[in-house]
Each structure stands twice: as structure tokens, then as C-alpha cells.
Amino acid sequence: MVVLDSLVSGSEENLARWEGCPGFSFLKADLLTPGSLSEALEGCEGVYHLAANPEVNLRNASPSDHFHQNVEATYRLLEAVRSEGGVRFVVFTSSSTVYGEPSVIPTPEDYGPLEPISLYGASKLACEALLSGYSHMYGFSSYIYRLANIVGPRSNHGVIYDFTLKLRLNPRELEVLGDGTQSKSYLYVEDCVEALQAGLSAGGLVNVFNVGSDDRVSVLEIAEAVKKANGLEGAEVRLTGGVDGGRGWRGDVKVMLLDTGRIKSLGWRPKHTSWEAVYKTAVALAGGLEGVPKPKDG
């Protein structure tokens, strides 16, 4: 196994348990750096492409960021796969944001037309199209997973992380972007990993799977979960009101729940509800964010 990571948002400490294991190697590199992929792909039969800029809010990522770090990076990886040969399959973590604001909830994989309302969602949809084209042209299989919000103890962005950080800085008040009614599916990272493995048993050249929990939680419910995890139930929630009908930001999908029947037909089931995934993550993050002091009691 070869792990390639630029470590821009990750940490080599997360790989410490694998150091010295036979067949494991780590390569610090960027997909956008010419020549970085040949070494990593040598002898590989499968590729798990999880690299991307995950920020939906334009305050945290520009159109250029999404194009280069998502679309161009995927193109460079697929070109390397084509050139090297030998790769039998590519796993790609896409996003529920490719659906935009669907009229069918829960949303199935064959829903259309796909009209993303964020540049992040648009970049993920562009990557899906590239994967499909390369698979048909060059004969390797693609496994595309349209993920709900994936959370876990190493989360370093997203609403749970943001709420935890805000409470560290001000234990008496928690700012919530939007009107608080935004409601989405959250999936614990272990459930996600199991889904990525389950999908590989499907046949076909291009496979698309929704992956998420069976329910959804609101932003206000997440706020309460994070307050509870930090022992700050008394903190006042302040709603900003948001934009475009109560969204946290332009491009924020208000309601998301995926139809996961296709991946379930392969034997996969989530072990956690959305609330359980959120609270478990919030408890882990409450244990400490590096460089940010814990709030004082009261």
C-alpha cells in the first residue's frame, strides 16, 4: 500500500500505526506536482482517490481552489493511471452536493438533472464525468461514492468542528449560520469506510453509490449536541438568519437525505444514526483542539 498526501490538511501522525508494516509506504506529494504520481502508482492495481478541497463555503475556498484542487488534480491522476497502465479500478469520493436541491427526498442515484448550487458540487460532478470518460476509453472500473457529510474524531472542518471552535473562543454564546433549520444526513467515518469496501463487489465499468445515514439532523440539533459534548448546555444560540431563505451561505443545501438502497443491496448498513455520528464526533473534538484552550466551567 502506498499513501500519497500533501499533508496540507492532514498529519503524518495519523499514519504512525502503519510505519514499519510490510508493504506500506508513505509519499509526501501533491497531485498537482508534475511527476509525483508515477512512483505512487507503480505496481498498484487499485487507487482510492480521496484528495480534494472539501470546503463548500466560498469564504473558505475560491473558484480557483475548486478547479485546481478538485478537477485538475483528478485529471492529472487519471492521466497518470492511463499512462502507467495496470490499474484495474479507481475509487472516488464524490458528494451529495452534485444533486443540488433535488425535488425527490430521499434522493436516488438516477435522479436528474444534476444541478449543483455550489462550485464545490460542480467540481465533484466534473470529476465524476472525467472518471466515466476515462473508464470507458481505457477500460478500468470506477467506483463513485456520493457521500453525505462524513464526520469523525479527526474532523478538521465542517459544522461540528466550527461549533466546537466557536465555543472554545466564547463559551457563553454559539453563533449558528442561517436559520438553523438546515437538515442533512451525517455518517460516521467507520461506516463510510465499510461502504467504500462494500461497493467493490458490484460489477460494471462505472458504479455510482449514494452513501449516508438513514436519517438527518438539523443545524440546531447539531448545536445542542456540541454544547452537550462540551458541557456548555447553557450557552446561548444566536442565529444569523442566513441568506437565500435561511441558508448558512450561498450554495448551502438546506435539505439532504440520500436513498442508499443500491449500496445496501450489497450488504452494507450504517451502524450509527446521524445524531449518533454527530455526538460521537463532538465528544471526540471536545477532548481538545490543538492550539485552542478549553473553555472554563460556567
Q: Which residues are catalytic?
A: 120
Pick from 119, 55, 43, 47: nearest CA to 77: 47
Residue 113 DSSP SS3: coil
Backbone angles phi, psi at 93, to 5 degrees: -90, 100
Pick from 284, 84, 77, 53: nearest CA to 188: 284
How many angstroms separate the Cα of 195 from the Cα of each of 55, 185, 199, 203?
23, 15, 6, 15
| CA–CA distance, 30 with 123 (Å, rounded to integer) | 18
Q: Are 254 and 96 in contact (CB under 8 A)?
A: no
